[in-house]
Amino acid sequence: MRFFQPRTVVSAHCDLPCGVYDPAQARIEAESVKAIAEKYQANEDPEFRTRALIIKEQRAEMVKHHLWVLWTDYFKAPHFEKYPQLHGLFNEATKLAGASGAKGSADPEVAERLLGTIEEISKIFWETKRA
């Protein structure tokens, strides 16, 4: 039985190479949300505004998706121990992307707050990549 025991025990903090994770995906979609909100505010055409809202909501949903992937797949317990504010940042960001935030609002300022929160998450992300 000793023959079947591993000689070396290894561990990894993610299920795929870490290069597949990047907060830039959420940021790009959030930038789209902001740009669409600005275009919405600058245009009075009802058909344009309807299309803009539909696209903005789709992009906001994608922001949430990319954030959830980072939150649930990339970040692990040691990260949350070192950065205790991380859970709160993800909660805030997903709320800002959701129905009570950018998904439910055409205010570019809401999207700007979302971008700021994603930036805070991104800083922590890149710190963890250097560690």
The predicted-structure confidence for 27-42, as pLDDT tens digits, reads as follows: 999 999 999 999 999 9
Q: Where are the domains of the chain?
A: 22-130
Residue 17 has pLDDT above 60, yes or no: no
Give the per-residue pLDDT at 130. 86
Q: Output the pTM of the full model.
A: 0.85
Tell me the H-state helices in the chain.
24-41, 46-69, 77-82, 86-97, 108-130
The token duo for 22 is 């990047």
Of 18, 26, 19, the residue nearest 119 (C-alpha): 26
The CATH number for 22-130, chosen from 3.30.499.10, 3.40.30.10, 1.10.287.110, 1.20.120.400, is 1.20.120.400
CB under 8 Å to 39, separation ≥6 — which residues? 52
The token duo for 37 is 């909100």
Distance CA 34, CA 9 (A): 47
